[in-house]
Chains A and B, each alone.
Chain A
Amino acid sequence: MSELMDLYQEVILDHNRRPRNFGQIEGADHSAEGYNPLCGDQLTLYLKMDGDRVEEVRFEGQGCAISTASASILTEMVQGKSVAEVETLFEAFHELLTGDPSVVAVVGPELGKLAVFAGVREFPVRVKCATLAWHTLKAALSDDGRAASTE
């Protein structure tokens, strides 16, 4: 039960219930779709850039609590960040999720609110739920027109 409590932290449940920055951006510079064929999670991410920086990001779609909360927190975290900063953050986040589950995660300060996802590493099949929005963001930034997929 404690692992479940680590997974479903109040912050995650809250973002699942009330996702932030939910909806489209009129005149978005970039958008991309993400899809997790295993469980049917799907979302669309909209981006407005200011040069190299993310000016605004919103999302819509449907998914499990982990993927919805991850997308919601992502939109809060990447606002105002440069593309390079976003990439660094995703790398750190990925490391947090996929690190050795027997080792307690070291949560660097750069992760900020993303630290609430530390419990996911105990649930390897759920890592894809947590990373879907981030893969989709990468696709939107690279704008290659392909839907991001966890498979």
Chain B
Amino acid sequence: MEDTQAVAALVERCLGGDAAAWEEIVRLYHRRIYNVSYRFAGTAEDAEDLTQEVFIKMYRTLKSYDVSKGALVTWVTTVARNLLVDNFRRRKHDRMTDSLESAPAGHQDALTLGEQLPDLGPSPDAGVHTQQTQRAVHQALQKLSPELREAVILRDLQELEYREIAQVLRVPEGTVKSRINRGRAELARHLSRTYRQVS
């Protein structure tokens, strides 16, 4: 949790033209924004460009930040998320995957969810720290729809509260929870398929 008073003072200094204050903001949030961008966009190059764009946008719109409406981290994440989604739409990288409900109906030979989920391949606790596994999870994450992907990234990677995620995504908390559950299950389904193909 960030110190609201300190952040407000920092923003105030920054708006007053203090370059050191702006640098402090950049240092505070660049790692978070880069990670969100990387997990959402998929590549380091895109993540770097997007992170820069996010901060350029922040620099121009910092006046619009209202301390009373929420934490700076939520505002920063909102700016980043909006830019990521805009970028996604602009590039027309439609990597929408089959939703949890439509998957069995979309493929005649696809397994039902009840058949797929028990066979998850290697246990997540066993050897998940290897680079290969990390890459597989990252690739599976790219196969999720943007709605599910952003929800699980914000919850499981950025560890935001449901309330904050709802604020960022501008959807009800119930929708956030539903997307998170579906996103997790979808990811597990992709990974089980991947490991079944490998084995």
**Chains A and B belong together in one complex:** no
| Interface set of A (CB-CB < 8 Å, partner B) | none
| Interface set of B (CB-CB < 8 Å, partner A) | none
